[in-house]
Structure 1
Amino acid sequence: MGKVLKKIFFGKNKRRKKRPGLEPSQFRTRLRILAFCGLMLYWLAIFVLTHIPTVPSWVVISGMSDKTMHLIAYFVLTFLFWTALSAGTKARWNSWRVWVTIAFIAVYAVCDELIQKLVHRQPDIMDFSADMLGCIMSLIIWTFAGFWLAGFLHGVVVIVILNCFSVYDLAGTSEAIGVLFYFLGYGFIAYSLSQALIPLSVSKGINRFYWAFPVPVLLLLLMKAWDLHTGLAVEIRFVAIALLGIVYSLAVSWFMTGRKSGQNSRDVLTTSFN
């Protein structure tokens, strides 16, 4: 009798249907679009920076070598270009995509140096060499790492170079630059690492956040220890901002993909490109 009344007043207990997951082809398409948009914005930014007659004050204050900045700029440019071209798959050196990437970066680097004459800046073969070194470094990472792990490694390399090859903390040159560098930089590597660990989390049953949190924090502590060693002041507020970026990015990762494995429609986003 109770079951009959329950059906009359409440109807049948229907289970909610799970949203279908993204197909790999769908994710690749979305990733290419996002990477292409990021590539265009980043490309415009570095083009402007390399073609203004006066070098920005924060660049001068940092004391970082011009060659180091060229290396970082083209290292990130190659990361975005490869992601847009290959949708974050590993680089195969017998593939046309690798050589198209190298050719594109080389042609643009040459044009970039030649056009600088128009703004009274001198072309430099060493700048071109630094550009190509950044390109090759990025492709080497892509050779051994899929999308998320490659993103993590690229982020670590950029943070280490900016932190260790500058005679003055870049964050100290501008409050806005400091916030962006620490929040987005450390947040990005934390999120990328948490996503890269999903296959291991699924196969071994471990909690990926046990690694995704301490690794970026350890990197942050090492960078601050380096600052102390080289006589640079440690800004506590930027350390707090970096920790906030790490916690926030891991919270987003938890919400999107669950504690141990992908548990919603974004499963393929984390498992197909490691």
Structure 2
Amino acid sequence: MNHEQVSPQYSPFAAVRLFAYWAPPVVYAGAIFLLSALPHPEEELPSFLGGISDKVLHLIEYAGLSLLCYRAFRWAAGEWGAKHALWLAIVAATLYGASDELHQVFVPPREADPWDLTADALGALLGAVGWRRITEP
């Protein structure tokens, strides 16, 4: 097969682009999962984070996930994904937050907390909207 027969959407550049934009949110989500699997994650945090409310940490955590999802949807999910990147990022990060709370039910002594999910959703909103405002004024 010569170069002209390769579809542009499956070019090596497209594969690199997909990886470059989708690997960060996947790795970040994996890190969230690992933290959620710890019975006492507060013991694993750096000491300078010890005095910060867990709700603020949830907000920051999911703002980061949403920002990364927004980038991926905006630049590596086709025309429809780009057009709806803001809402897709917010919904994806919030749903991941919900699945994370469910995951914690199975990690003794942790439990699901609807206020954590609220902080996750607010973080998802702020992360995606903030990144969009910064990068696409």
Pairwise same-fold verdict (TM > 0.5): yes
| Distance in 2 (alpha carbons) for counterparts of 1:96 and 1:116 | 30
- Equivalent pairs: percent with the same residue? 29
Quote the offset at 1:135 in angstroms.
1.0
Any residues of structure 2 matched to 1:181-260 within 5 Å, and which? none
Task: For 1:86 and 1:106, locate their aligned partners in 2 and report how far apart those are by CA, in whole Å.
Answer: 18
Q: Where do 1:127-166 residues align within 5 Å?
A: 127-146=116-135
Number of equivalent positions:
117
Q: Does 1:107 align with 2:91?
A: no
**Quick one: distance in 2 between partners of 1:77 and 1:124?**
19
Contact 2:97–2:117 (CA under 8 A) maintained in structure 1: yes
- How many Å apart are 1:112 and its aligned residue? 1.0
The CA deviation at 1:31 is 4.7
SS, match of residue 40 in structure 2: coil
Aligned-pair CA distance for 1:64: 1.8
Tell me how far apart the structure 2 counterparts of residues 39 and 142 of structure 1 sit (CA, whole Å).
14
Q: How many Å separate the matches in 2 of 1:56 and 1:31?
A: 36
Show the counterpart of 1:51.
37
**Paired position in structure 1 for 2:51:** 63
Q: Per residue, is there more helix in 1 or in 2?
A: 2
Which of 22, 28, 49 is equivalent to 1:42? 28
State TM-score, norm by structure 1: 0.38
Q: Aligned pair in 2 of structure 1 residues 54, 133: CA closer, same or farther (>3 Å)?
A: same
RMSD over equivalenced CA pairs, Å: 2.6
What is the distance in 1 between the residues matched to 2:127 and 2:105? Answer: 28
Do the aligned partners of residues 40 and 64 (structure 1) sit closer, same or farther apart at CA in structure 2, a change above 3 Å counting? Answer: same
Q: 1:59, CA displacement in angstroms?
A: 2.3
Alignment partner of 1:64: what SS? coil
- 1:70-103 per-position Cα deviation (integer Å, ceiling 9, x unaligned): 1111111011111111129xxxxxx433222222
- Distance in structure 1 (CA, Å) of the matches to 2:123 and 2:17: 22
User: How far apart, in 2, do the equivalents of 1:96 and 1:39 lie?
Assistant: 17
1:76 pairs with 2:58:
no
Does residue 116 (structure 1) correspond to residue 104 (structure 2)? The answer is yes
- In 2, Cα distance between equivalents of 1:144 and 1:38: 20
| TM-score, scaled relative to structure 2 | 0.71
Q: Which runs of 5+ in 2 are unaligned?
A: 1-11, 77-82
Residue ranges of structure 1 left out of the alignment (5+ in a row):
1-25, 89-94, 148-273
Kindly indicate whether the alpha-carbon contact (under 8 Å) linking 1:31 and 1:84 is maintained by their aligned counterparts in 2: no
Indicate if the aligned counterparts of 2:66 and 2:127 stay in contact, CA closer than 8 A. yes
**What secondary structure sits across from 2:45 in the alignment?**
helix
